[in-house]
Structure 1
């Protein structure tokens, strides 16, 4: 059974959602997977640039992430209620153990959400916003590979070739980090774990989507768990939770990142519900383009030959996986 067919089956019982085919023709632009992908992916790319800028403005990147997530969750909660979405809250089924499964789901998705974000914001000042942004391009091919292994989707040669090019791009990206200092090289290798967490999260959310749960409520739960994990982390390691000085730049960066998180993760689960895990993974491709471009424009980060080759390899992999995914959708028409 293909991933799309599996989603259609789950949607009939209140699971993953309506699937790409039933939502693509929605009235609102926010019902269209392409629009959602471009918005969420662009915000993801901008966040890598903010993470690199944080130390220059007086913020520890982890502290900025912590308060931005809390502020984003509060803003998202308030916006949904003001918009009259109160009746769209999660309807917990009455089946025995369902509430417990919902709590476990939120805890796991929260961890799979916050760990790659922590790595990203900590690595960006050391290896560059462009390097970290490019790491976000790999979840597409990894998510497809996981989907095949778990039999959520049939193997296709064209998509398999895409995975091969994606892995080659990862190797080239690792090579591009060999020119960095010893500390930066460590962070470059750690950053390569980001796509593993993201791909695992994509698959887990699809498989375990709670019956009757609404995207906005799952996003809020995920963000709250992320904030709690960060609070424990900063307290344990003695990370300063406030900027060196509350300058207009420090306050402005916090406000901007807070607004981005509120919008980004408010739409993140909506995209997952609408289009499924493989399509969702394309936000990383958008983030890579935006992050590399902004890294060059803002920080004058000029990619070396290995990084450019990695971009080319990942680009080919993304094209092949995307073409193959479209064939899957067409075959289920």
Structure 2
């Protein structure tokens, strides 16, 4: 009696296992990335220079991989629009804000606020009718937002708080959430993840190159020692893996599940910032993590319940 259901059970397991693995690996790379950005600042690498050369290196890695697989990024009006807007929201804009803010607010704080996109993405998905309202998931949004506000309040109330950079850093999660929704809604038909990822990174490098032409910006890197170049190479590999996994996760898990990358990134990034880089734990850290963790758990329980109801 149970044999006919076995293939279905195995298929269902595979459907959920792949997104989970993409999520854990991509989130770990994201957490590592915020700490590498702090190290870059300590080596007098500007945020723009570090981001540009790292993104360019990641683009070349993924482009080489796409060429080897004979799956190069398509060049159509729709795909070029997709690359540029995705790059502006999810790569160049958000990461430039985060990397620029880290010397002022710390890698730990940035790693924590990257947990906000799941909540903002869910609100956007509701507004655009990509998801139906559900009490559990709405409660999750409120809980996690309370956690984020707890962290932001403590950071803003600190005697040495840099209000401008705290507020600028908080814009980053909004850009990421918009990017998550945009990539799902505008995904070019019939184009694979490993073709879209290098296209987006090439577009991001062009946007950052254009920004470097503005007064006060530079792509110069220190040449008197090899460590900055080594750090850029490491970040390029991290970015290549992170953005390839992002597109794989986007396709298999959807925008809300994708945006949990920040939560996994915080689990990796905050302890590394505290234990290895000597940062002070943010005020309200425990309460903030509990509220955010509860919110994310409710979001996922609600998602599982939705899937169960549809199956029934």
User: 2:215 maps to which residue?
Assistant: 237
User: 1:112 maps to which residue?
Assistant: 89
Kept in 2: contact 1:90–1:212 (CA 8 A): no
Kept in 1: contact 2:155–2:282 (CA 8 A): no
Deviation at 1:90, TM superposition (A): 5.3
Change over 3 Å in CA distance of 1:316–1:237 after alignment to 2 = farther
SS at match of 2:176: helix
Across the aligned residues of Structure 1 and Structure 2, the Cα RMSD in angstroms comes to: 2.0
SS at match of 1:302: coil
Return the alpha-carbon distance in structure 2 between the equivalents of residues 128 and 23 of structure 1.
Answer: 41
SS at match of 2:214: helix
SS at match of 2:213: helix
Kept in 2: contact 1:91–1:212 (CA 8 A): no
User: How is 1:1-333 mapped onto 2 (pairs within 5 angstroms)?
Assistant: 25=14, 32-82=18-68, 85-86=69-70, 88-89=71-72, 99-113=76-90, 114-178=92-156, 179=158, 181=160, 184-333=162-311
**5+ unaligned residues in a row in structure 1: which ranges?**
1-20, 93-98
Change over 3 Å in CA distance of 1:23–1:221 after alignment to 2 = farther
1:181-239: CA deviations, max 9, x gaps?
35x22111111111111111111111111111111221112111111111121221333
Deviation at 1:302, TM superposition (A): 2.4
1:108-161: CA deviations, max 9, x gaps?
111112211110100111110000001111111111111111111111101000
Deviation at 1:297, TM superposition (A): 1.5
**What is the number of equivalent residue pairs in this alignment?**
300
**5+ unaligned residues in a row in structure 2: which ranges?**
1-9
Return the alpha-carbon distance in structure 1 between the equivalents of residues 44 and 62 of structure 2.
Answer: 26
Change over 3 Å in CA distance of 1:277–1:63 after alignment to 2 = same
TM-score by length of 2: 0.90
Deviation at 1:246, TM superposition (A): 4.2
Kept in 2: contact 1:66–1:227 (CA 8 A): yes
Kept in 2: contact 1:53–1:125 (CA 8 A): no
Change over 3 Å in CA distance of 1:250–1:171 after alignment to 2 = same
